[in-house]
Copies of this chain bind each other. A is one copy, B any other.
């Protein structure tokens, strides 16, 4: 655990996030970024920090520089759960072509992340909202065993665990309130190409809230058989899609923690807040856009999303000719 004493949180409720902190090397048609700050828990934490206090549980190696810690602390992220251990920090090397929906992984070096065993500090055990980023489903359950009845447990996963640890994943899903995955993962997890039927299957296993991320096409929410469609903002300058899904989760779950209300109306707003944070994040490499982001910009973009989908009711019935 990092020694430095953290400030007491500003918000009523903290989100606990468990996942990866990494160095990413990313090539896109718009440039190259070498060993920049990345990792699911990192993107999530910074995005969520605009809405609530964040408690980060992850592991880094001895090579992790203080400047990144200072940045996270400056965003109000509580780092007492961030383990620093002998060895090197997790590294990922990826590439995108013009189709930003698909990353090509060129290299993965798990390093210290290979032996990651999440240990939840005692002060974190009362966390009311928990986000289990994309890690081994057995570790996700190990986290839940260390916390006391959170009000909301949200989780991500990926094709690797769906294929390789299906049974463990099913056990985790039974404990999850909100599953946040992409459309390919939804179809793969349910073994069903139709999203409506796939959602019903997955929700029968536990998560009463299912969020389906669709990259540049937006995201869907399914809850109690009711669907909500969040658009994605058409953007002229998309530089780096890395972390968009985790920023979405950070915005959505962070907003829910801020409100501490999980009804349909707040879930719909949370979907938009997730989309807002993802739309900012893709505008620059790594987390760079979020470094300068302001609450006023977030509010303005929320309005932009409102306008993006607005249409008037029908003025007259269609039954009779005019």
Contact = CB atoms under 8 A, between A and B. Distances in A.
A266 B267 CA distance: 29
Interface stretch (A33-41, A117-125, A137-145, A214-222): A214-222
Contacts of A196: 234-236
Interface residues of A, number: 52
Given A196-B236, A231-B231, A312 B268 contact: yes
Contact of A229 (B265, B295, B309, B314): B309
B269 A311 contact: yes
Contacts of A229: 218, 231-232, 234, 308-309
Contacts of A258: 322
Interface string A147-178: 00000000000000000000000000000000
A12 interface: yes
Given A268-B310, A269-B312, A311-B272, A236 B197 contact: yes
Interface in A276-322: 295-296, 298-299, 302, 306, 308-314, 317-319, 321-322
Contacts of A311: 228, 265, 268-269, 271-272, 306
A195 interface: yes
Nearest to A229: B231
A272 B309 CA distance: 10
A201 to B, nearest CB: 12
A135 B84 CA distance: 64
A194 interface: yes
Contact of A308 (B10, B228, B310): B228
A193 interface: yes
A233 B229 CA distance: 8
A128 to B, nearest CB: 14
A179 to B, nearest CB: 16
A11 interface: yes
Contacts of A11: 321-322
The 7 tightest CB contacts between A and B, nearest first, are: A229-B231, A98-B193, A217-B217, A268-B311, A196-B236, A295-B318, A10-B321
14 contacts: A11-B321, A50-B318, A51-B318, A199-B234, A218-B218, A218-B229, A218-B231, A220-B234, A227-B233, A227-B234, A231-B231, A265-B311, A268-B312, A309-B309
Interface of A: 10-12, 50-51, 98-99, 193-197, 199, 214, 217-218, 220, 222, 227-229, 231-236, 238, 258, 265, 268-269, 271-272, 295-296, 298-299, 302, 306, 308-314, 317-319, 321-322
Given A222-B234, A271-B311, A306-B311, 10 more contacts: A10-B321, A196-B235, A197-B236, A217-B217, A227-B234, A228-B309, A231-B309, A268-B310, A268-B312, A296-B319
